[in-house]
Amino acid sequence: MNKRIEQGDTIGIIGGGQLGQMLAFSAKATGMKVIVLDPDPTCPTGQVCDCQIVAPYDDVNAIQQLAAEADVITYEFENVDLDALDAVKDVVSIPQGTELLRITKDRIREKTFLKEHGFQTAKFAAINNEHDFQIKLEKVGFPCYLKTCEGGYDGKGQVRLNNEDDLKQTKEILQHCPCILEKAVDFKCECSVMVGRNVDGDISVFPVSENIHRNQILHESIVPARIPSKVAVHAEETAVAIAQALDLCGILGIEMFIGNDDQVYINELAPRPHNSGHYSIEACNFSQFDIHNRAICNWPMPQIKLLQPVVMVNVLGQHVSGVRNLIFEKLDWHFHDYGKSEVRLNRKMGHITILTNQLDQTLKEIDQTGIW
């Protein structure tokens, strides 16, 4: 059921983390009502929206209540219960559908989809058991990554294998088969592109972000990415082509490797706002959250403009106390805090956006704080 969504209507969000929170901020700015489903009564989204249903994500009764109260349903993470969504698809608009989630939930399905549609990925093989792994390792070769097909994030559920010595680390991962074995891409840098598409098929594409990871967690995003403009154009065109191939509705984060051969390799797809797109709140004419909300409401899709070059830095649990002092030193930095009550090592607590015309200087300034 796809109904036209207007100002004053209600957006229902499954998941109450920071992505839901920033979706809610954007939705509220355009006069929408927002209701969130999350088991934690203190969750970031619950703090800023009209109403929260406090229940587990896969609670069918709770999803039915969400469907009854909302005009359109969306989600802020990919591990949504597909059966629960299917159960309400006749009573509420779910313009993103369930097919995109089905593909992106599973690394094998995702990479197979990309390959079948002509998009370049790392060489990969499906692994169903230990024996399979021995055989496929011969074909893929070192260095490679062994990853669980479902549920991994921020480098969890995966190991990099450089040589035979690393094989002892595979036991734990292989217990969670099916897995995927991927050849390590020899990359110059990691990038991502956010792309949004509405129900009518109109598209907004964001500029390429260069992403620097520390301990496999995003540390900084730099926009525009420091790659040749020909490669950037190709990355953006590839993002648009992927959105079309998927019949996308909503926002999609596309993680890419820019190879030392200057080729673009697609790493993974996130059918939701993405950490590497947070820069767009201050640096673009529309944020990734604005675009997602417009897309699911089937409003027209604007052309995205980068207003100023930008660096986004993540604030993890271990950075919080240091960052609080920075507020008084860095007067033109934008400090975001998601309002999470529990501070934990490596937990995403907030981020900082720095608009800059002197990128090298800004990167140095970040390092000189000694916080990261």
* Residue ranges in the chain assigned as alpha helix (H): 18-29, 60-69, 82-88, 99-104, 107-116, 130-140, 170-174, 229-245, 280-283, 288-297, 320-326, 359-368
HSE, side-chain direction, 13 A CA sphere, residue 166? 14
Nearer to ligand ADP, 117 or 156 (CB): 156
Size of the site for ligand ADP (CB under 6 A): 15
Nearer to ligand ADP, 102 or 156 (CB): 156
Other Cβ atoms less than 10 A from the Cβ of 161: the count is 20
The single residue among 213, 305, 324, 364 that binds ligand ADP, judged by CB under 6 A, is 213
Q: Is 267 in the site for ligand ADP (CB under 6 A)?
A: yes
Task: Single out the segment in contact with Mg ion by CB under 5 A; choices: 14-22, 33-41, 191-199, 250-258.
Answer: 250-258
User: Considering CB distances under 5 to 8 angstroms, the limit depending on partner class, which of ligand ADP, Mg ion, none binds residue 236?
Assistant: none
As measured in angstroms, the least distance from the Cβ of 153 to Mg ion is 7
Nearer to Mg ion, 48 or 191 (CB): 191
- The values of phi and psi at residue 337, to 5°, are -135, 130
According to the annotation, is 182 in a ligand binding site?
A: yes
Specify the DSSP element, H or E, that contains 209: strand 209-214
CA 164 – CA 258 distance, rounded (Å): 27
User: Considering CB distances under 5 to 8 angstroms, the limit depending on partner class, which of ligand ADP, Mg ion, none binds residue 152?
Assistant: ligand ADP
According to the annotation, is 89 in a ligand binding site?
A: no
Task: Single out the segment in contact with ligand ADP by CB under 6 A; choices: 29-37, 87-95, 177-185, 359-367.
Answer: 177-185
Nearer to Mg ion, 213 or 324 (CB): 213
CA 280 – CA 285 distance, rounded (Å): 8
Residue 120 to residues 114, 188, 207, 235, 247: CA-CA distances in angstroms?
7, 16, 20, 11, 19
Pairing state of beta strands 33-37 and 51-53? parallel
According to the annotation, is 131 in a ligand binding site?
A: no
329 DSSP 8-state letter: T
As measured in angstroms, the least distance from the Cβ of 11 to Mg ion is 26
The single residue among 25, 142, 153, 372 that binds ligand ADP, judged by CB under 6 A, is 153
CA 317 – CA 202 distance, rounded (Å): 39
The single residue among 23, 185, 195, 366 that binds ligand ADP, judged by CB under 6 A, is 185
Task: Single out the segment in contact with ligand ADP by CB under 6 A; choices: 49-57, 150-158, 230-238, 299-307.
Answer: 150-158
* Residue ranges in 246-349 assigned as alpha helix (H): 280-283, 288-297, 320-326
Nearer to Mg ion, 153 or 335 (CB): 153
CA 84 – CA 211 distance, rounded (Å): 34
Residue 191 to residues 26, 88, 95, 131: CA-CA distances in angstroms?
25, 36, 27, 34
Nearer to Mg ion, 78 or 255 (CB): 255
As measured in angstroms, the least distance from the Cβ of 70 to ligand ADP is 28
Q: Which residues are annotated as a binding site for ATP?
A: 107, 147, 152-158, 182-185, 190, 213, 267-268
| Binding stretches for ligand ADP (CB under 6 A) | 122, 145, 152-155, 182, 184-185, 190, 213, 216, 255, 267-268
